[in-house]
Structure 1
């Protein structure tokens, strides 16, 4: 049986290459709206972040996503992202990858 190719993406915070399923995509639309993209298919400028709460906290402290997406993100968005990543991490540990 032929092995399937696993799509890899680079985390903008840690600069680590990981499988796409282990990352979360943050997208900026043409209108300038920023959102979390769990499907990875929304149109717009995207940035990938590892599903690790420590990585999200680091991006919040250093405002890395602000620079990558060329916009200013609110603390509420970073908190929403941290909550989402914490929830997804718990699901992965509970149900496996």
Structure 2
């Protein structure tokens, strides 16, 4: 019998639901303090996961959960960029 491979789970900082890591978007704060969307899931830095929906990102922003999980205040311009990137996906 083949052993079932474990699927990594992460919590969305917006809706607070556990989902498969592959279904979520990783937002990463690089060691230099730059906040970007990590499409590869392999960039170095502190990551936070959010569903690929505008509603979840807005919820994470409103409750300051994104700031808390990245451990730094986030510029409103960065949020605009994240929303724009999210719409492309």
The two structures have a TM-score, normalised by structure 1, of 0.76
Alignment map for 1:1-97 (pairs within 5 Å): 2=2, 4-88=5-89
Runs of 4+ in 1 over 6 A off after TM superposition: none
Q: Distance in 2 between matches of 1:39 and 1:72?
A: 24
Q: Which has the higher helix share?
A: 1
SS at 1:12's partner residue?
coil
What is the deviation of 1:40? Answer: 0.5
CA distance in 2, matches of 1:7, 1:85: 22
Separation of aligned partners in 1, 2:87 and 2:63: 19
**Can you give the 5+ residue segments of structure 1 that lack an aligned partner in the other structure?**
89-97
| Cα RMSD after superposing both structures | 1.8
Unaligned runs of 5+ in 2: none
Matched length = 88
